Structures are given as structure tokens and as C-alpha cells.
Chain A
Amino acid sequence: MERKRNRLEIIHDILGVIKEKQGKIKPTQILYKSNLSHIMMNEYLDELIEKQFIKEEKTKTGKTYLITEKGIRYLDEYKLVTNFIDSFGLNE
């Protein structure tokens, strides 16, 4: 059985999925690829928007999410972030 992902891993997975789709994605695609429930996905998306890791765009066909520079930076620094947090026991 797969172990439960922590918060940082889930954020990494969501941002990774958006980046894979050339930085722009619809909510249903995130739902399928991120392996989260609809409620959890919306909670994480709200958090990511608040932290400016992604931005929401409303189009005629619906909502899309775009990854920001901050979001890309998170992906680049992810290994550093997790190693630091694990080494210094700062898991939330």
C-alpha cells in the first residue's frame, strides 16, 4: 500500500502536473493526476492561489490554473526544502 503523502509532497505533485501541461491546466485534469478528492483538491488550490504559486484564469470554457514563477521556484527548490525540513525536524 502507498504511504500517505505529506502536504509538501501533494503541493509538489499538483505543481508538477501543471508544469507538465505547459504551465496551464483545467481543474479536472488536476483531479485525475493528483489523486485527491474534489474537496481536498479545492483546498490545496485555494492555498496555492493564496501563496501565489498558481493563478486562476476564468475563460469562456471554464477555469484554468497557471503556474507562477513562485510555483516553478518551489519545484526547483523542492529537494532542498524537504531535505532541510527533514534534517531539522520541522515537519508540520
Chain B
Amino acid sequence: MADYSWPAPGTHQTLGRRLSRLDGPVKATGAAKYSYDKALPGMLHGKMLTCPHAHARIVALDVSGARSMPGVRAVRVIQDVGSEIQWAHDEIVAVAAVSEDIARDALRAVRVEYEVLEHYVIEEDPNGTFEKKEPQERSQGDPDAGFASATTVVERELAIPQIAHMCLEAHGQVAEWQGDEVTVWASTQGVSTLPQQFVDGGLETKAANVRIRCDYMGGGFGAKFSPDRWGIVGAQLAKDAGAPVKMFLDRDQEVAVAGSRPSTFAKIRAGATADGKLVAWESETWGSGGRPGTGAVPVPYVFNVPNQRKKHTSVPTHLQSSRAWRAPNHPQACFLTMATLDDVAAELAMDPLDFVLANLELTGRFEATYREQLEIAAERTGWRERWRPRTEFDDGPLQRGLGLSLHTWGGRGHQSRCDVAVNPDGSVEARIGTQDLGTGTRTVIAMVLAETFGLEIDQVTVRMGDSRFPQSGPSGGSSTVGGVTGSTRRAAMDALREVFTRVAPMLEAEPETLVARGGRIEVDGDSTRSMTWQEAASRIGAVAVTVGGRNPGRGKLNDSGVGGVQIADVTVDIETGVTRVNKLLAIQDCGLVVNEKLAESQIYSGLIMGVGYALFEELIADPHSGRLLNADMEFYRLAGIGDVGTLEAVLMQGPEHQERGVIGLGEPPVISPGAALSNAVANAIGHRVPRLPMTPERVLETLMAAEAAEALEEKA
């Protein structure tokens, strides 16, 4: 029976190398065509009218002014009279017109009347919610006994708000019908899964008649798994109008309805004994992911404190329903936990590194990984030489600090199918219905082909981004690299075996003794019996050898479960409250590294998004109007190049990691930066800024509150 494996460590030809991503040239020259760039003859522009109120009922709706406007070709009512709107910017009417400007004119001609209802958008006070949910309670061990045995107990209130995905390419698509079949150029994370979702969403056609195309897409981060209502209506408008329709969200819509990460507010107690051992954890949390509220995040994170009591309440708000945001729930849990543990260490006057090491057995499966990663991280940052307790300060307003965090993730390869074809002229091609979000998927598939067939990367072709190709899973959970490399490797190995079978007689060898290396097929260990790849391929016959491969399947090609350690080095100006990131260091394992350069980019990506939510990003809802105050890119601040400091990425490599096979990397690096930066700021200024993002205002508030508390103490 066929078995599948990666080449032994030390024998790789292509895997692990620092190859440039294959789609770099088309992206750097502007030649890459995204769905947003798609233009078709006679294409119409779709735009949607949205509700300005966070909570309202539609009492009157008249679209005749839009329908009759010259240049308008189709109008659809999305939510009709009687509908209850439950977040601002929710879609009411869609129009398709010959230009975007006329589409907007048409929306202005729609008459809509709302009965404005009471809204609730500030979940910080959970009691104001319109829909009380039962709290979920979980406990283990004996928390009361645990706290009783603790010599040090820390109590904290911490908060991490709702944030946005802020993909640069907005959500949207171009849809074109040909008879009963529709092609949708979508900005999506799920090329193979979208067709059925269109049907489920109400598009009147068969899934087999829906073709999705996505060659390049401008960011997803977990927000683009669905056609969404605008995708369905965009396709419907195209059918109504008998012309292609381009429907993309405007930026304010993109921020308000197309992706958010839930908040968590927490009251936490943590107890430790004098030797630094964690013995008890108690937390009361609540949070919101908009209309459905949100579930509990996994606290205490990574450290399985023996005695725990947790109570969580989901709080619905009149805001968009949240979506999976890179490493869902982990950044929040990591911040709440690592900040608390860092505060416990400070109470004990312990170096947080020592505190973490003292409790490392509570991390279970990854204890040895963390130990190794902590050692590397400490050495690279000079932690032992440079760390000072919170009670020590620099002269002047600039205060330096170091902070530490640990994280974990899964990352198992998802279900994937791939067809690999070897043509008689030696050209090799993979066809796979997957998508490249900017993660390098296209490149890693090509590298697996090159590795397997012993070819250079420019000798292989990857065809993807089309739902007509063999189905692959959506890109989420860091599951793509394991999935697509698994299916491609299996298909390629089987295709290679077929080539071996055909050429073995000519080399007077058994097929199992042949290897593909350096553009040749040869008997392993006897290079006198060999031929070029082209010669071998020419023996295939008249038609290509095409083999399908799947993941999961036989042989261990991928795995799940990684650790990760990060250290942040900051300077805080205690006069202005501004935090400058000096350096962020990430130590990350991910099994077999397929492409070192692209893997490092994934790590930098996580670190930079982390700086964003640690220092700048929050969705700010106005309690009076119920609308977002910063549904834009001016007041919703992404980190800029000057904000991120020096970034250093260290990938754990070596045989013991390679032997695990491929593990996903997209999400782990974004989990720890918030915690590491919060801890670094606390180390710098001597106090915990309890809420992310740590804006200058919040840093100064923290300092002033601490000063006031100290003054009160002195008086007492």
C-alpha cells in the first residue's frame, strides 16, 4: 500500500528554502487582478442603502424614485416594511446602476421611514442589555481552598474591546450570469465552500451552477467565509438586470458590518503561594460580539491553574454580529491571563520569567516547548541582564520595560483535494480549489510539487482560486498549509510512482528504487542509471498522468499543536502617555517549515496586528446615536510603519520539528503581542493599564489614578 511522507530531514531539495512568493511580481507591479478590479462589458455598479439607526423598525419604504432613475437597471428590497433592524449600517435596499455615482443618486431617492427604538451599544455596563442571558459557570478543584492557601492574591479588572478586521479590500464581488450559471469573482476565504452557501442564502439556482473565482484577495483575517447578504443580492441584481453587477462595500459599511472581534470585560482574582506557585483563579467575565453576544474566552489561558471558578455572561448589543478574528478568543484570553499572572509575579517581587518557569508544569503538553522557547527568548533579549522590577525607574520621563507572554494554537491541515497532472512534455500542474489570502498558499503548493518531482519551482504550475477545481477547505484556523500540502504531496507522490512504473524497465530497476532529484530520475545510489525528467515524462504516453490526492490521508504529513513565546521591549513617555515599541521578539514552532521567508512574514504579520490591538485599535460606539464613531481608517487606527519597532522572528526548526509535519502558522503569532506589550508597559511605568488599547490617554489615566491612590494611602 502506498505510504506518504516528507523527505527525511537534511534531504530536502526545495522545502524550507527562502523562495520568493510566486505572486510577488504581479502584486508589486499592479498586474494582479483582484475581484475589486474585475471589469466586464456592460458591468453595473451595485450599492446598498443602510439604516442609520442601531435599533429601528421599518414603517415605510418606497423605492420608486430609485427604480425610475435613468441609469438604474435593478432594485431589490433586502429588508421590507416591518423588519426590525438591530445594528446601524444594516442593509435595506440594493440598486444596480450604470455608474457608482448614479447608484448613490438612486439610494438618495429611496424614501424610508423608521420607528426608532431604544438601542444598547455599550456592553461595559452589562445590566443595560435588552436580552439577559444566563451566565455560564465552570469550576474545577476547590477554588475556596485554593485561595485560602494562597499567600498572595491579586484582584484586577481588565478589558479588551471590540475591534475590526479592517481588510484593505472590502467585502464584495462581481457576478455575471450566463443562462442559469453564475460566475462570481469574490473576495473570499472559501472558494470551494461558497457555491452551496449562495444557494443556502437564497440565490435561486443550483450549487453546481455557481462558479467562484478568486485569484488574489485583499485580506480576510476570518471575516470572509460567507457570501453575505450583499453577495446574494448582488447576484440577484445581476440576474434581474441581465448584466454583470459589481457590489463592494464602502469603507464605513466594511467596518460596521463586515467583521469584528468580540470584547471581554473581566474581574479576576488570582492566588499564588509564597514560592510563586499558582493555586487559584476566579474570574467573572462578560463581553459582546454584537447581536448574539459572545461566549467565554479560554481563561486561565495556557496555565491550567488547579483550582478555578469562572462565570461568563454573554451580552447582546445592537452592533454587527462578530466574526472569527485571527485566532478567535485567544488574543483576549491571553491578555487577560498573562496580564494577571504578571501582576501576581510583581506582587511576589518575582521576575515574571521565573514566575512563568515556576508554573510551567501547568501548561501540560507544551511544557518542554515553552521551556526551550523561553530560554531562546531570554537570551535574545538579554532578559536576565536587562529586566528590572516595576519599582525601579529611569531618570526623566522615558521609562523602559520588558514584558513576556505565552500562547498556543492547533493548526491541523483541513480537508483538501488536489489533482496533479504530469504531461508528456514534462510540465507539471496542480489543480486545487483553494485560495491565497496573502499567506503564500500558491507558493507552498508549488514547492511541494517541485520537491516531489525534483524540479525547480519555475517548472511547475499551480492552478487555484476556482471552485471548479478539486475542493479544498476554507482558509481558517491556520488549516490551509497543512491541508493543501497534504493533498498535493499525496497526489504528487502517486503521480511520480506512476512515472517510475513506466520508466523503471528502461533503467533496469524496480520502481521502488527510483528517486526524483535535481531534474533527473535515477536509481537511488546509482546515478549511472538515470534519465532526465523530460525523458522520463516522454515515456508517459499520449496523455498526461493525472492523479488525485486528499488530505487527511495515509501517512503523517501534518500535525496540530504549537506553543509560542513573545517578548516586548517598550519605552513609555510618562508625560505624554505615548508608548514606543522598541522591539518585539517572537519564538514560534510550526512543525515542518515549508518556506522560511514566507513563514517569517506570517510572524511579522501577527506581531504588527498585535501592536495594532495593543496600542491603537478599538471600535468606538456612540451611546447616544448607537452608531460607530470610527467606522473609517482615520479614527480607527491601524499601526503604521513607524509604530511597530524592530521585529524579530525565530522559527523553531530541526529534525524534531520537521518530523511533526506541516502545522499552520497564520494565527499563533497574533495571540501574544497584546499581553506582552501590556506587561512591558506595566514593567515600564509600574502600574497596569487595565484596558486595551493602551492609548496615551489610558496610560496617563493609569498613572494619575495610581498617584491619587498613593496619596490617599499616605494620608491614611
Decide whether A and B are members of one complex. no
A: residues with CB less than 8 A from B are none
B: residues with CB less than 8 A from A are none
